[in-house]
Amino acid sequence: MDREEFALVRETVRSLAPRYGVTSADEVKPATRTAAQQALDDMGLSELRRSTPPAATTQECALLAQDHGRHPLTTSLLGTVLLAPELLRLLGDDTSPGTPTVALTRELRFPDTEFADLVAWDSEGADSALCVTADGTVSRVGLGPAAPSTDLVRSVRAVPSDAPVQVLGRLTAPDRLRWEAYALVLVTAELVGAAGSLLEQAVQYARVRRQYGRTIGSFQAVQHLLADATVLVEAGTSVTHYAAWSLDNEPPERALRAARVAKAEVNSSALEAVYAGMQVFGGIAQTWEHIAHLYLRKVRLGATLLATTDDLLPALAAPEVPR
Instruction: Give the pLDDT mean for 125-129.
Output: 96
What's 87's DSSP letter? H
d(CA 108, CA 120): 9
Determine what percent of the chain is predicted with pLDDT higher than 70: 99
d(CA 60, CA 3): 10
From-to residues of CATH 1.20.140.10 in the chain: 175-317
One-letter amino acid at 86 equals E
Give 222-240 pLDDT, tens digit per residue: 999 999 999 999 999 999 9
Work out the mean pLDDT of the chain and round it to a whole number: 94
Give 172-229 pLDDT, tens digit per residue: 999 999 999 999 999 999 999 999 999 999 999 999 999 999 999 999 999 999 999 9
Burial class from Cβ neighbours inside 10 Å (0-12, 13-18, 19+) for residue 29 reads exposed
C-alpha separations of 96 from 89, 91, 105, 289 in Å: 11, 11, 23, 42
Q: What global pTM score does this model have?
A: 0.95
Please identify, in words, the CATH class of the domain defined by 175-317: mainly alpha
Q: According to the model, what pLDDT value does residue 162 have?
A: 87
Give 61-93 pLDDT, tens digit per residue: 999 999 999 999 999 999 999 999 999 999 998
